Every structure is written in C-alpha cells, then in structure tokens.
C-alpha cells in the first residue's frame, strides 16, 4: 500500500497497467488497493477512462536522506519505517535490541497508534506525523520533571515555524489550535529512573488528514486546515527535531523552572473552570497555572489551591460552569 502511495504521490495520472507493472501485481489487484485508499484512508481519487488514476492532490511523503542529514547535525540517528504498529513500540524494540540512544523513529503510518490512557491515535498513512525520540536519562527524576510540558513547547515552536498560528498548550501534553487538538504527546519510560533509564517521547501531529477520514472522539484540527495549504510533513519533522534538541537541552541544563514562564504564556486554559479526572474521581476547580515542577495548580472552592502531578491525570473544560 505504501508503494502505491509513493507512485501516486506526485498527483499525476497513472494507468492501471503502469501501476500494476510497477508493483508487480495484476490490474484487478491495483483496483482493490485503490478502493482501500478511498475507504480506509480517506484519500480522494480521480478515475478517468483512458488516463488512469490520480489522487485529488499530491501527498507529502517523508524523505530518509533529508531527515537523516538534519538529525546527524544533532547527533541523533534515524530509523524510518513504512507502516508499523507504533513508533513508540518500535523505539522500545530498538532499545531492547541494543541500539544506543539518542535516536528518532519516524513512520509513514501506524496500525496501532496510541495516545495517553490507552486511547487510539488516528494514524492514516502519509497524512500525519508519527515521531518518537528515544533518549537516555542521566540525572534521574530531576531529568524527567516537567519533561512532557517542555516537549509541548518544542511542538508548539515547530508548528509556528511551519506557519500555524493561534496555537497553545493544554496541560499536561496536548497542543491545540483554534480550540481543537492538533498534536499530542505520549512519554514512556524504559528502565529504572534511579539507575539506567531511557525516556521514549512519542509525538503525533495532525498534518494533512482529511475532515472525513476518520471518526475521532474529540474536536480536532490539522495543519492544513489552519494554514489553508498542503503542509510538508518532512519540513515539520525537521523543525520538530531542531526544537526538541533546543528545548530538551535547556531543560537538562537549567531545569523546568527556566521554561515555566514560557509555558504559562501559552497556557490556553489559564483561569478557566476545569474538571480533573484522577481515575474514578472527578475534581472541579479553576486552573491557576503550574508550579516550578510542572504540576497542575487548581483552585478548589472550600479547599484553596491544590497541586496535582503524576499518574494518569486528564484535564477537560467544565462545560457546566
């Protein structure tokens, strides 16, 4: 399927015979693949007798040589995959096989993309960015304090460099544009933070996904919708790597407190009534910001300001307020 996408990515017409010869399959098999592109991936195809098939518009595909060159300047290796279960899972397998961090895993598509709290992450091929950075943590718990918020700042910076305006941060690790989710972060640990530990930083960004491509259980948007043009997935990954290198480096040298003010300046829910989910418990309060370690600060009537961090916490707006 990915080979077919690469053939069609130029936006030109290709005959069924041409596609079949390039893929080594029959024309009937090509037709079945094309139907899957429409039904499963939400890609619009033009079919013209005598001319063949083409996508309604070109695709933005990743490029190993360009991405590898950018990462080499940062001292990071690249592992680019076509379609895998998830980039986080692949990063873990690479670590377990003895590959040394730091390295980046990129994929054209995922079959089992994951968000926080085990939620599915929509991962159609060649439409979004699926990115994982694996790092070795050398300063224990201190090196992890506020890390997801710092990664959010890096994603925000990369989106702005890509021309997306009106973006902001939602605690603890979502990026919003126009009050809708445009990117999410999933951070996982491998090892003992008190000894040898690796952190696996997974980032998903909605780039060119069509509005009817998939059913997603929350308001969402894409770079394309926000900018009005097809976005370069390759450029975004380059910006993202550079921003991560810069922000994580500062976090390592100076701690989260040095970046707290910048995060607060981009906090889209500051002063708003929210509901914090902590497992089975629902806590309502006014979001007053974050503390020096990145913990959430909520002002709760009758209890004053309380702080929350760690665990599977989830924050949403209180629409009943």
Together in a domain, 286 and 202: no
Together in a domain, 51 and 172: no
Question: Which residue out of 170, 181, 224, 233 is catalytically annotated?
Answer: 181
Residue 239 in contact with residue 161, Cβ under 8 Å? yes
Q: Detail the residues annotated as belonging to a binding site.
A: 86-88, 110, 114-116, 181
Instruction: Give the global pTM.
Output: 0.86
47 counts as catalytic = no
Segment 130-158 mean pLDDT: 90
Sequence-distant contacts of 63-68: CB under 8 A, at least 24 apart: 63/234, 66/234, 66/238, 67/104, 67/106, 67/234, 67/237, 67/238, 67/241
Together in a domain, 215 and 103: yes
229 counts as catalytic = no
Residue 157 pLDDT greater than 60, yes or no = yes
Residue 41 pLDDT greater than 70, yes or no = no
Question: Which residue out of 32, 73, 272, 316 is catalytically annotated?
Answer: 316
Residues in the chain: 321
Residue 203 pLDDT greater than 70, yes or no = yes
Q: How many domains does the chain have?
A: 3
316 counts as catalytic = yes
Together in a domain, 178 and 80: yes
Together in a domain, 71 and 212: yes
Report the mean per-residue pLDDT for the chain.
Answer: 88
Q: Detail the residues annotated as belonging to a binding site for biotin.
A: 86-88, 110, 114-116, 181
Going by pLDDT thresholds of 50, 70 and 90, the confidence category of residue 119 is low
Q: Range of 50's domain?
A: 2-55
């Amino acid at each position: 399927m990915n080979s077919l996408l690469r053939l069609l990515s130029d936006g030109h017409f290709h005959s069924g015979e041409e596609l079949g010869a390039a893929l080594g399959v029959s024309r009937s098999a090509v037709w079945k693949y094309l139907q899957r592109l429409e039904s499963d991936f939400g890609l619009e195809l033009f079919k013209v007798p005598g001319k063949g098939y083409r996508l309604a518009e070109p695709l933005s595909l990743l490029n190993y040589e360009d991405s590898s060159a950018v990462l080499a300047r940062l001292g990071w290796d690249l592992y680019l995959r076509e379609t895998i279960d998830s980039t986080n899972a692949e990063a873990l397998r690479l670590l377990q096989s003895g590959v040394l961090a730091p390295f980046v895993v990129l994929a054209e598509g995922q079959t089992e993309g994951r968000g926080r709290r085990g939620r599915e992450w929509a991962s159609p091929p060649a439409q979004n960015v699926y990115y994982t950075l694996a790092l070795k943590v050398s300063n224990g718990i201190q090196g992890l304090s506020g890390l997801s918020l710092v990664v959010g700042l890096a994603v925000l910076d990369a989106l702005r460099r890509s021309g997306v305006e009106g973006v902001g941060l939602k605690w603890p690790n979502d990026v919003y544009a126009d009050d809708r989710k445009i990117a999410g972060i999933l951070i996982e640990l491998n090892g003992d933070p008190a000894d040898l530990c690796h952190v696996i930083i997974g980032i998903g960004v909605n780039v060119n996904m069509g509005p009817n491509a998939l059913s997603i259980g929350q308001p969402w948007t894409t770079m394309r919708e926000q900018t009005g043009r097809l976005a370069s997935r390759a450029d975004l990954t380059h910006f993202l790597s550079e921003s991560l290198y810069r922000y994580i480096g500062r976090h390592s040298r100076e701690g989260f407190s040095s970046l707290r003010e910048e995060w607060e300046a981009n906090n889209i829910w500051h002063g708003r009534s929210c509901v914090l989910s902590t497992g089975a418990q629902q806590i309502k309060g006014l979001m007053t910001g974050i503390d020096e370690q990145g913990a959430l600060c909520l002002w709760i009537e009758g209890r004053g300001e309380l702080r929350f961090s760690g665990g599977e916490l989830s924050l949403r707006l209180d629409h009943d307020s």
